[in-house]
């Protein structure tokens, strides 16, 4: 009988890790996850690095050196993040090569302070991808209204993009439209349309925002329902004539990625969003704790439906209970962007403080 993570891969879903620290690289933990838990990629964000820099000594020596070089906190962050993610990308390179570039990716985010600045986002995305020098490194760009033109332009110039901070089906479709326009422009320009991308749909925050607003039968159901209707839209897009024409030129799908899949409710299953969102041709990026839980006692009982299902009736019931899901989705995206800015500012402050402290101590 296959392990739970092997069962996910058998239905066609990639298991990614939503974490990166230098410790995971130095002690061989990430390599072990690849071998034992079938992990085929990873994601990172400012919150992850904020905790890693603040709560561990993994980066002290590097920060002391960068401080002596008088690097700004942002420059120091990108130095250490690019080093980490380049090492991780090399670990995933066999997967990347074996799957023809479909899998085996790592992700580095542009500054969250650029979420509403299209031109600055594009410039930084292009610069970071060039500096990293790895073909299997995504640049994360928020799928905010201002981020969408930057996503299209990044795809057009050949930068692989992980579109982050998507919460609704409509936000996902807008991100998919930006990706398709970028690919179509490449075809018109005589360029290769094979520029990879993923669209990251955040799940658990729906349930955190509605836990006290809904009757018990609907608690912890909205995130899964949004995931299901977004997956249906994704599969419909893949079957469309528009995407079929691009496939004739060699285009590949922008894969749907389920993010924020750690269970927040202590009374719910710690594998809630992994069990419920198993789906072919998709990705689930899991916090480390969730990965361990699923590997230990997770269960794949079925897969998401590409059509039909109970998601629409769940959302209808949520609306009848008084939750405006469209307005909530917009608020979750705004709040998510603001939370990443807060983590980013804290991260830069920690880097500045630590750089000075370890340099003085040395």
> For residue 160, what are its two tokens?
């692989």
What is the C-alpha separation between 111 and 133, in angstroms, rounded?
19
* 13 membership: H or E segment, kind and range: strand 13-17
Under 8 Å between Cβ of 219 and 244: no
**256 contacts: CB under 8 Å, gap ≥ 6:** 172, 198, 199, 201, 230, 231, 234, 279, 281, 282, 283
What is the C-alpha separation between 283 and 103, in angstroms, rounded?
9
Question: Which one from 54, 140, 342, 354 is the annotated catalytic residue?
Answer: 140
Under 8 Å between Cβ of 164 and 259: yes
Under 8 Å between Cβ of 206 and 226: yes
Under 8 Å between Cβ of 45 and 140: yes
Q: Judge whether 54 counts as a catalytic residue.
A: no
What is the C-alpha separation between 259 and 237, in angstroms, rounded?
20
Q: Which residues are catalytic?
A: 140
């Amino acid at each position: 009988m296959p392990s739970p993570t092997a069962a996910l891969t058998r239905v066609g879903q990639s298991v990614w890790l939503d974490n990166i620290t230098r410790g995971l690289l130095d002690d061989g933990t990430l390599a072990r996850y690849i071998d034992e838990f079938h992990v085929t990629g990873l994601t990172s964000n400012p919150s992850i690095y904020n905790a890693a820099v603040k709560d561990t000594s993994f980066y002290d020596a590097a920060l002391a050196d960068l401080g002596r070089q008088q690097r700004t906190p942002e420059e120091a962050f990108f130095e250490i993040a690019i080093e980490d993610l380049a090492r991780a990308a090399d670990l995933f390179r066999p997967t990347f090569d074996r799957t023809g570039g479909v899998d085996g990716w790592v992700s580095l985010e542009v500054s969250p302070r650029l979420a509403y600045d299209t031109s600055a986002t594009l410039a930084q995305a292009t610069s970071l991808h060039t500096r990293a020098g790895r073909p299997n490194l995504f640049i994360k760009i928020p799928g905010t209204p201002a981020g969408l033109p930057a996503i299209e332009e990044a795809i057009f110039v050949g930068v692989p993009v992980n579109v982050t901070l998507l919460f609704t089906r409509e936000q996902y479709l807008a991100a998919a439209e930006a990706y398709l326009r970028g690919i179509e422009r490449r075809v018109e320009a005589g360029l290769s349309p094979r520029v990879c991308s993923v669209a990251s749909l955040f799940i658990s925050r729906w349930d955190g925002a509605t836990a006290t607003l809904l009757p018990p039968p609907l608690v912890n159901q909205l995130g899964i329902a949004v995931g299901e209707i977004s997956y249906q839209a994704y599969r419909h897009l893949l079957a469309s004539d528009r995407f079929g024409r691009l496939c004739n030129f060699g285009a590949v799908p922008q894969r749907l990625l389920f993010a924020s899949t750690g269970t927040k409710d202590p009374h719910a299953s710690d594998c809630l969003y992994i069990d419920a969102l198993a789906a072919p041709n998709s990705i689930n990026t899991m916090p480390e704790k969730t990965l361990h839980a699923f590997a230990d006692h997770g269960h794949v009982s079925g897969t998401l439906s590409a059509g039909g299902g109970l998601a629409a009736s769940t959302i209808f019931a949520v609306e009848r209970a008084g939750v405006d899901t469209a307005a909530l989705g917009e608020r979750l995206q705004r709040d998510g962007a603001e939370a990443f800015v807060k983590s980013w500012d804290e991260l830069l402050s920690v880097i500045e403080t630590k750089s000075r402290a370890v340099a003085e101590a040395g």
